[in-house]
Each structure stands twice: as structure tokens, then as C-alpha cells.
Structure 1
Amino acid sequence: MKIKVCGMMVSENIEAVAALQPDYLGFIFYPSSPRNFEKEIPLIASEIKKTGVFVDASVDFVVEKVNKYKFKAVQLHGEESPAYCASIRYALPETEIIKVFSVRDEFEFDILKNYEASVDFFLFDTKGKNKGGNGYAFDWEILQNYPSKTPFFLSGGIGPEDLFKIKNFQQHLEKSGKADLLYAVDLNSKFETEPGYKDVEQLNEFRKILKGTKP
């Protein structure tokens, strides 16, 4: 399972987290977020997929940031339409596209069909007052009914205490032949000492256990 660490802000913290070799590092471009990124990204390993996170931004704005920061993925966290996602795909054919959907007590999976042709992954986050980083989880059991073949990221208030829950959820998916669809977990606020600053020790411990490199 892949790991994405999102909401990076501070140069030395970015370097420290990158040294753990997460699969994705996310940088948020949304002025209303306390993790809004406005700086330069230090040099990090090319194997890590730098990801720009956007909320209802113009296509031109997304393309500008992808070109400036050499992002390998974009995460669309607003109300972006299937047509918008198709426009991003056309403008950035080599860039992975992750479309976010917010979940609380239920979710209408039919909405996904029109996005499948234009995105690489879905990401399911907790519906709350903020566009991400709300710090609490939705009921993952809802995803037992996931009908799509598009792999997804699991997000929303995931913390160090959720390792067993993640593994248990993955086992449930295995029983229904959907284990491969859980592509990655997205980590943010529960691993922070303050908005945008990650606890590297906690992340490392979580990574080792999730990846199976620690007994």
C-alpha cells in the first residue's frame, strides 16, 4: 500500500519527511487552508511523486503550478466536474489525476462513473467544514460497496492509532476481491505538531508497520 503525506509547508520538515521515502508528498494551493503553500520545494528524491492539491482552481492555474514545481500528480479537492477533469487530462497528459470525494454517513457511488475516463485515482475524505484536514474519519464500511475499478486513496483523520483498523479494512476488501483497489492512505493532520509541520518520528513508525518492514 502506498503512502501519501499531505499538507507540507516547511523546507526542513519537507526534507525530513522525504527522507522516509513516502510515495507521494502533497502541497496545497488553496488560500483558505492553514497549509496553503507559497514557498519553494527543496530538492527531494525523484521517486517521490510531488502532488499539487487544488480546490476549484482554473485549469491555467493548475498547469502553471505543475510546470513550476514539476508535480507528477494533481489532487482535485473541490467540486470539479467530469469535464473539468477531462480538461486537466488534456492539458497534463503525463500527470496523475486524483479526484477527491467527501463522505459522511453515505455516498452515491453512481457519481463516479462520469469521472472514470479522466482520472487515475479517487480519494475519499471526510466531509467537514474544511476542504480536508478536518481530523476525523468517516465510516470506511461505506466503501465495502465500492463498485468502480478505479483504485482509491483512503483519507480523513487517519492517525497512528488507525494501523489495525486499516489492516482490518484491507482484509474485508480482500474477502470481496477488492483489496487491490485500496491503493494508498493519505496522512495529514493527525501526524502534525502544528498545521503543515509533520511529526517525522510518528510517520516513520507508521510507515514501517504499514509497509511490513517492522516486526
Structure 2
Amino acid sequence: MPTKDLKIKVCGMKYSENIQELLMLQPDYVGFIFYEKSPRFITTQWAVFSSVFPTDTKKVGVFVDEDTQVMLEKVTDLGLEMVQLHGHESPQVCLELKDAGLVVMKAFRVGNDFDFEQLREYATSTDFFLFDASGPNPGGNGVRFNWELLKNYTLEVPFFLSGGIDMEHIEEIKALQLPKLYGIDLNSKFEVKPGLKDINKLKQFVEGVRG
């Protein structure tokens, strides 16, 4: 996919005014973290979700080993359009959510010994994969992995690239030859503090990648 067509997902949003500023950039996806151990855990849900989202911007709920019914309740209450699963969720859990009409993205942390074959059992129950770096937290560690490993990916499921992506990676991203790369997930490297994004920096990145 040409980088001008790459989808942009900004994850870990937390503050209403900051979200309003972000929406001016018309990102394709905005992620909200429903994991209490995360510093980006969203506690003011109703205030945040009263924001008017552009039609083409999808709201993503990020969960870690959460009960399926709890996730479905959040989806209904807050109008989420995608669920991003960052724990040890099984293909069956993914399928239950997909059967409920949701777009499902399953995240995996990629290290040098990562076995891409394990993804095969998820291929029919997920819409997207997200490949993140290994680290102490389920996500938002601010480090990247060796993107050369993604050349070992052979499935048809499109994926998002995540993990420590920063301004310095724009040209490297534009040079990637990965047929199933669908989008870029931005988080900690664009933060003033956890959950609060530097909108000008995000604007420069989006313009740089799509320019």
C-alpha cells in the first residue's frame, strides 16, 4: 500500500480537549484504553465520548484479557466500532466479538523468536493484526522491534505497525515493502504525558508519511 494511503491510528487518548484537537487532523482510528493498570486508562468516559467524531474516524476500545460481556457493554454504551485485544485472548473470543458485528484487531508482541505461524488460527476470527514491540506492559512501551521480521509474515490479514514509532521513522516507513501493512499506530512518542498528545507533532508526522 502506498504510504499516502496508510491508515493512521492514534492510541491512548484520554482528555476531551486534546481529543477535539486530534479530530481536526481526521485520523482514521482513535484508541481508548480500558485497562486499569495503564497510565492511559480512561476514567472520564462520558465526557470524552460526548465529542462529535467525524464519520470516517473510528472509535477503538483497547482491552487486555477482559471479559467478553464487559467489552460488549462498553461497545454499546460508548459507541465503539473496533476492539483491539492486547492480552492472551483466544481465537474463540475474537470470533465471538466479530460475530457480534465488531471489527476485531488482535495485537501481538514481536521479538526475534516470534513465530508467525501462531497467527494462522486467528486468521478467520480477526480483521486486523497489530504488531507491537515486546516490553513490560501490554502496550505503550515506547520501543520498536526489528521491522525486518515482518517479511516473514505471509497471511492475508492486513496489519497495523506499532511500537515506538517517532518522527525519525518517517522515511523508513515510506520505504517499507510490506504488502499487508495497512496502518500505523501512534502513541507514546507523541505524548506530552501519558494520554496527552502533542497535536503539532502528530500533524507533522501524518503530513510526512502521506506527503
* TM-score (normalised: structure 1): 0.92
Report the residue type matching 1:165 in the other structure. E
- Counterpart for residue 20 of structure 2: 15
C-alpha separation between the residues in 1 aligned to 2:169 and 2:79? 32
Q: Does 1:201 align with 2:200?
A: yes
- Counterpart for residue 63 of structure 1: 72
C-alpha separation between the residues in 2 aligned to 1:166 and 1:191? 16
Secondary structure of residue in 2 paired with 1:204: helix
Q: Does 1:48 align with 2:57?
A: yes
Deviation, structure 1 residue 105: 1.7
C-alpha separation between the residues in 2 aligned to 1:96 and 1:84? 13
Match of residue 145, structure 2, among 130, 138, 155: 138
C-alpha separation between the residues in 1 aligned to 2:95 and 2:31? 22
- Counterpart for residue 41 of structure 2: 36
- The runs of at least 4 aligned residues of structure 1 exceeding 6 Å deviation read none
Report the residue type matching 1:103 in the other structure. V
Report the residue type matching 1:201 in the other structure. N
- Counterpart for residue 29 of structure 2: 24
Report the residue type matching 1:77 in the other structure. H
Deviation, structure 1 residue 104: 1.8
Is the 1:4–1:23 Cα contact (8 Å) retained in structure 2? yes
Is the 1:98–1:121 Cα contact (8 Å) retained in structure 2? yes
Q: Does 1:86 align with 2:63?
A: no
C-alpha separation between the residues in 2 aligned to 1:157 and 1:110? 24
Q: Does 1:190 align with 2:189?
A: yes
In structure 1, runs of 5+ residues without a counterpart are none
In structure 2, runs of 5+ residues without a counterpart are 1-5
Report the residue type matching 2:193 in the other structure. E
C-alpha separation between the residues in 2 aligned to 1:129 and 1:191? 20
Report the residue type matching 1:78 in the other structure. G
- Counterpart for residue 117 of structure 1: 124
Is the 1:106–1:142 Cα contact (8 Å) retained in structure 2? no
Deviation, structure 1 residue 106: 2.7
C-alpha separation between the residues in 2 aligned to 1:50 and 1:122? 17
Q: Does 1:103 align with 2:110?
A: yes
Deviation, structure 1 residue 120: 0.3
Report the residue type matching 2:110 in the other structure. V
**Post-superposition CA distance 1:167-186 (Å, at most 9, x none):** 122xx33xxxx2xx100000
Report the residue type matching 1:142 in the other structure. L
C-alpha separation between the residues in 2 aligned to 1:34 and 1:7? 9
Is the 1:5–1:186 Cα contact (8 Å) retained in structure 2? yes
Report the residue type matching 2:135 in the other structure. G
Is the 1:3–1:184 Cα contact (8 Å) retained in structure 2? yes
**Post-superposition CA distance 1:82-132 (Å, at most 9, x none):** 111111122x22x21000000122310111111111110000001100111
Report the residue type matching 2:28 in the other structure. D
CA RMSD for the aligned pairs? 0.9
Report the residue type matching 1:135 in the other structure. G
* TM-score (normalised: structure 2): 0.93
Secondary structure of residue in 1 paired with 2:112: coil
Q: Does 1:6 align with 2:5?
A: no
**Post-superposition CA distance 1:26-47 (Å, at most 9, x none):** 0000000000012222222121
Secondary structure of residue in 2 paired with 1:206: helix
Deviation, structure 1 residue 72: 1.1
